Every structure is written in C-alpha cells, then in structure tokens.
C-alpha cells in the first residue's frame, strides 16, 4: 500500500480515472434526477442517495469479481451473424430500457397536464428504486470495464469509484433542482438519455459509436440551451424593469 501511495504514476492514474468516472457518471445522475422527480417531494433526496449508494456498492462488487466480469466478454451465442456476450446482452437490454424510459418520460412531460403519470407523487418509492437499480447495473458495467482498462491496481479502481460517487452525491441535489426548475433542460436531458440508450443498444450489437461524436452532440446542444437560458433571463429582467 505504501508503495502505491509513493508512486506518481499511481496518483496520475487515480486522478485520470476519477475524472473519467465522474464524466461517465453524469448520465447516471441525470437519470436518477429525472426518475426521482416523480416521487413525493420529501422522498426525492432519500431516493437519490440510495440510488447513488447502490451504484457505489454495485461497482465495488463488480471490481472484486474481475474474473467473472472479464468472462462476460466471451461470446456465447450468435444472432444475425453477430457474436453476443453477456456484456453485450446487458448493454443492449439497458439501452432498450433507457430508450423506453426516456420516451415515456418525454410523453409524460408533454402530456402531463392531462395525465396523472407525469405528476410528482405518481410513482412509488419501491418502483423508483428498482428502476434506479436496473440502470445502475448497466452504467456500473460500463464504468467498471473502463476502470479495468485504465488502471492496474484494484485499490486505485475502488478509490476512483468512491471519489466519483462522492462528487455525484454532492452534484445530485443542485442538478436535480436545476432540471426541475427549467423544463427545457429536462427535455434536453431526456434527449441525452435517448441518445445514450441508442448508443448502448448499438454497442450491444457490436456497432461502436465513438464517444467523441456523442459528447460533441451533447456539448453543442448544451451550449445552445445555455444561450437560450441566458436570453430568457435577460428578457424576463427587461420585462420586470418595464413594469416598474
């Protein structure tokens, strides 16, 4: 352990991996924020904390199961001339679930005025926790495989995951409040989840979409939305000044 603490290369890999885990975890935080928004107000923060703690426990458990995890990449069946491993099946299943969930949330957001399903308090605590658990499993698999590919020591991997989850716990509350306050941001976040779901489904069938393309699209759309928010705030300020 002392040798690891005194090795600059270990510290460099820890910082790099922690930052990457935080970036990968943003998807998870957005999903948790959107799903928990349909719980009663007093249960939302608790559900977010439980969801992130489940993500932490799941990732650490997967890290200790390295041999089994690596075995998941071995093909076990061929479908439409594509060899599928259990990892592919999990990613494709998670992608389908994410597409379904994002689509239904968009539907509720647009039709929420006439349907009960889009209102806070319409979901049960247990149902939300189950949904978070299922998606945590998919995001954890992707995250842990990244950690295995970037670091050599299990201690470094666990430390990076703990740091990333800690940052996400701090960011979950303000991010959830911001998404709730700005409906257009929520719609943009749901579009991101839909995009991620398509990417996971494609990757499950051995069609890899470079993450750079996804991140560029997300960054570009986010930049446009930031400009829209700034313009909207200035218009509202101008209206308040005109009324006074």
Q: What is the pLDDT of residue 175?
A: 75
CB 122 within 8 A of CB 115: no
Q: What is the pLDDT of residue 69?
A: 63
Distance of alpha carbon 22 from alpha carbon 216, whole angstroms: 17
6 and 125 belong to one structural domain:
yes
Domain residue limits at 53 = 2-209
CB 169 within 8 A of CB 45: no
**Of 224 and 215, the one with more pLDDT:** 224
10 and 108 belong to one structural domain:
yes
108 and 161 belong to one structural domain:
yes
**Of 99 and 177, the one with more pLDDT:** 99
pLDDT digits (tens, 9 = 90+) for 2-35: 565 666 777 777 777 777 677 667 767 777 777 8
pLDDT > 90: what percent of the chain?
0
60 and 173 belong to one structural domain:
yes
176 and 236 belong to one structural domain:
no
Q: pTM value?
A: 0.62
Q: What is the pLDDT of residue 120?
A: 57
Across 74-83, 142-151, 180-189, 207-216, least confident range: 142-151
186 and 232 belong to one structural domain:
no
CB 55 within 8 A of CB 22: no
Q: What is the pLDDT of residue 149?
A: 58
Distance of alpha carbon 90 from alpha carbon 137, whole angstroms: 9
pLDDT digits (tens, 9 = 90+) for 165-195: 888 888 777 877 777 777 777 788 778 778 8
**What is the signed CA dihedral for 48, 106, 88, 25, rounded to 10 degrees?**
-30
204 and 216 belong to one structural domain:
no
Check whether 85 has a pLDDT greater than 80: yes
| Tokens (6 digits) for 83 | 């060899």
113: pLDDT confidence band, cut at 50, 70 and 90? very low
Q: Provide the domain count of the chain.
A: 2
β-bridge mates for residue 75, sequence order: 85
243 and 181 belong to one structural domain:
no
Check whether 135 has a pLDDT greater than 80: no
157 and 141 belong to one structural domain:
yes
Task: State mean pLDDT over 36-57.
Answer: 82
190 and 221 belong to one structural domain:
no
104 and 183 belong to one structural domain:
yes
148 and 121 belong to one structural domain:
yes
**Of 83 and 122, the one with more pLDDT:** 83
């Amino acid at each position: 352990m002392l040798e690891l603490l005194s090795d600059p290369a270990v510290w460099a890999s820890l910082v790099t991996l922690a930052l990457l885990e935080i970036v990968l975890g943003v998807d998870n935080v957005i999903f948790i924020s959107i799903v928990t928004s349909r719980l009663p107000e007093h249960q939302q923060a608790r559900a977010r904390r439980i969801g992130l703690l489940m993500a932490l426990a799941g990732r650490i458990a997967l890290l200790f199961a390295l041999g089994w995890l690596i075995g998941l990449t071995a093909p076990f069946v061929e479908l439409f001339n594509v060899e599928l491993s259990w990892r592919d099946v999990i990613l494709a299943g998670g992608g389908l679930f994410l597409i379904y969930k994002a689509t239904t949330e968009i539907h509720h957001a647009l039709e929420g005025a006439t349907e009960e399903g889009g209102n806070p308090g319409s979901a049960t605590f247990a149902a939300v926790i189950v949904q978070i658990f299922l998606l945590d499993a998919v995001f954890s698999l992707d995250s842990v495989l990244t950690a295995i590919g970037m670091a050599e020591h299990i201690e470094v991997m666990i430390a990076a995951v703990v740091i990333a989850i800690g940052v996400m716990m701090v960011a979950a509350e303000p991010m959830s409040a911001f998404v709730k306050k700005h409906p257009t941001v929520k719609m943009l976040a749901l579009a991101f989840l839909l995009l991620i779901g398509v990417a996971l489904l494609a990757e499950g069938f051995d069609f890899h979409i470079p993450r750079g393309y996804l991140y560029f699209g997300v960054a570009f759309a986010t930049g446009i939305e930031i400009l829209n928010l700034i313009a909207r705030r200035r218009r509202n300020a101008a209206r308040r000044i005109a009324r006074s």
